[in-house]
Structure 1
């Protein structure tokens, strides 16, 4: 048995060894190390295309790993404080869906907040589980949903003692954290699994200056977006398991939907990034904290904007705050977040993570520099000077919790018809409507459409939000359920 050593990156080393052997490829992919597609080599480079290879004995197989991939998984588990880890090449969407599919079957109940990512709603469509949504508090000033409140979760557990799991998204896109340890203890006492969508928390485990990570809180499963704050390639993720989960059963669930032709570019990026975090994560993320806090201070000095932080913590609806998240409320200068987002990109060549109705998020990570922060602050000050207005026409309140009439699966597969969105008030939606990013559904299948929701969608469209999820690419029409 090999000794785990966080200085090692077994998949990366396996690819280096393969490159040295100059093997003649009579397998897929058909570009044959780039020789059949010179434009691809020009775009990505010979080194990259040369290691875009298929599974073979020396390189192991993600669906049933026995050598270097299994070692990479064990190193990832140790680095994140988990009992087991899976390298995921279908993004954290695949990780979130695997968590739900591994714990819930058709008709099972799952307790969760309504402001989940669409991947969780889609998992309910796939498996037929029934969502038990927790009512969320909203910050009236910045209009975002806050954390899961312990009392409300306790009440849901009491009313639905047969629920199989509690899903928590922590931290949220905006940095809001719930009481993971308290919620985990409560759910476990009721015999329920705890699943954490930790897409925005790959960094939490590596310093005690940040909120508690899912594994440190004792959760059963956590979906971690390594490509967000962890530094790996886009679409790569890690699924972490606690000691009470059957890892090989979870692998079977993953293999139901994950590709059998796993990308070694993605897997090696996970391997190298895990090594980087294990060896240098503490110093890297503490630098990110300092940069974010500096940016927050400078932006709040500009005036009009509100870069929020730990002052939101009240121990109830906001248990903690991830200070690496540079979330900024923009309506104080009379502009929506999406308008500021567009101005930053189009006028200042600055690409931030997202803008919604009231906020923007600038993602600060291990790759940022202080001069980049200065440029962002300067651009925001310039936007205030040139474009600010009274903003009396703006809608406030980013979060609406719709009424659930049917389960997502029942609604998704029900008989339906397409009608104008403007005429859909009172109908039951048969599809998702969301702004992306952040990818939290405004409407999910099975939910009642209200005039408030219609007005919100129209306002988001008018302001330039990227609306997705409907069959109609323009989101002028909505698929609704034919009433029984």
Structure 2
């Protein structure tokens, strides 16, 4: 579908939820409903902190404001405008984050026992969905860039092989892009999936801007994918926890709504929904220009950081036509090991000594997330700080781990392992056992271990190394990650 034509059908200057809330504000309705703070009067400290404008529209569903579970008026209009702006057959406003969007997408496509083809470097929300529905993952283990230590996209031949070997799989899921900005050949994968009678699902948590940026990788809807989870709050400018679920013309809208309503709140936040509404309007009217500027700023930052020496801010030169089919040039991903520091160490120094908060640091890289709110002067400050960190802290990097991704050995389905009888063992005594919980660094939230995977010495070494370097580890029952739950 031609994106410009798609956006010309409806008036993208409208923001129906925002407009309804403004009308409601002017009516001065007496509240005998929830929330109990009663437009902020009952909680003056909260009102002072957030402001009357904010708490005054933190309201409950009512006829003039529609209902997220079964929208018939202003929320439905907002969803129609979002679908139009993103070139989708339908769009759902999601208030449980893109986690909720991803899980609804997987639960729509899969039921217990179904196989789904996916890369292993997916966000934990995908594997959580498999725990919930009982589907079985068929992993396409991504290639790893040996220098950067990061996982790449899915190769076409790997996807074709997985489809051939698992003809009864119901769907193929693709990251578009990965956290680091790497894209698979989405159009080719969509065609392969459809030719085999499978759905193609896209986790576009980090790809909102693909729908509005010239020169950026193809968006899922433009590539013909059946469903896409889009984190509007990441690069799209809406409030944290607000997201979109987009579907194509061959997915049943009513069934998707039923799936969403299995887990999504019945008390949808109008702060989150109005932020989606206003942000969609902003992107539809100004997104193409804005994201062109973001890409330019990122390219400038790459050049400046690489000129410092020691760091490697990588970009489109990684593209190889297959496992790195395309690259998101707005992503400022920087390899740090050549200055002798792990990414998480640079992350900590930037925050603690330079008051610069980047998105994440891991074993070998950092990611500075650039989007619609960034300005050149902040990028200059980041470049200067990195130059100074190199001068002050550069050291011998021998002995540093580099590989971010370790191929898993799957011994049981995520659901089977998660609910099976289990026991807790000291970390080093779990080698060879089957894990029954998640272990990951967050962000990015890609599991090092997932339920049903065999624990190896390499994985244990990685966990201990990541902990020692200061990575924020999440997932296990034991918050110290001194013990792991394994199948009994």
TM tier, smaller: over 0.9
1:107 aligned counterpart, secondary structure: coil
Correspondent of 1:313 among 303, 309, 319: 319
**Deviation string for 1:47-73 (max 9, x for gaps)?**
000000000000000000000000000
1:178 to partner: Cα distance: 0.5
Give the one of 419, 430, 438 matched to 2:436: 430
Residue 98 (structure 2) pairs with residue 92 (structure 1): yes
Superposed, 1:373-452 pairs within 5 Å as: 373-452=379-458
1:268 aligns with 2:274: yes
Q: State the 1:164 CA deviation.
A: 0.3
Contact 2:214 2:292 in 1 (8 A): no
Cα deviation, residue 205, structure 1 = 1.3
Q: For the aligned residues, what is the CA RMSD?
A: 0.6
Inter-partner Cα distance in structure 1 for 2:21 and 2:92: 19
Deviation at 1:336, TM superposition (A): 0.3
Q: Deviations over 1:163-216 (max 9, x none)?
A: 000000110000000000000001000000000000000000112310000000
Question: Given the two structures, how large is their TM-score scaled by the length of structure 1?
Answer: 0.99
Equivalences for residues 203-242 of structure 1 within 5 A = 203-242=209-248
Report what 2:30 is aligned to.
24
Answer whether contact 2:170 2:199 (CA < 8 A) is retained. yes
CA shift at 1:303, angstroms? 0.4
Structure 1 residue matching 2:145: 3-state secondary structure: coil
- Is 1:354 paired with 2:360? yes
1:4 CA displacement: 2.6
Displacement of 1:427 in angstroms is 0.4
Report the 3-state secondary structure (helix = DSSP H, G, I; strand = E; otherwise coil) of the residue aligned with 2:408: coil
Q: Runs ≥4 in structure 1, deviation > 4 angstroms?
A: none
**Corresponding residue to 2:77 among 71, 75, 86:** 71
SS of match in other structure, 1:203: helix
Specify which of 25, 50, 56 is matched with residue 56 of structure 2: 50
Is 1:284 aligned with 2:282? Answer: no
Deviation of 1:422 (Å): 1.4
The Cα of 1:393 is off from its aligned counterpart by 2.0
CA distance in 2, matches of 1:382, 1:478: 40
CA distance in structure 2 between the partners assigned to 1:209 and 1:17 by the alignment = 40
2: CA distance between counterparts of 1:386 and 1:423? 40
Question: Counterpart in 1 of 2:5?
Answer: none
Length-normalised TM-score, structure 2: 0.98
> Equivalents in 2 of 1:103, 1:183: separation in Å?
17
Distance 2:308 2:372 in 1: 25
Aligned residue in 2 for 1:151 = 157
Give CA deviations for 1:104-144 in whole Å, capped at 9, x if unaligned.
Answer: 00000000000000000000000000000002100000000
Q: Is the 8 A contact 2:437 2:485 kept in 1?
A: yes
Name stretches of at least 5 consecutive residues in structure 1 with no aligned partner.
Answer: none
Aligned pair partner of 1:453 in 445, 453, 459: 459
Whole-Å separation in 2 of the counterparts to 1:385 and 1:412: 47
The structure 2 residue matched to 1:192, chosen from 175, 198, 201, is 198
Separation in 2 of the partners of 1:453 and 1:462? 14
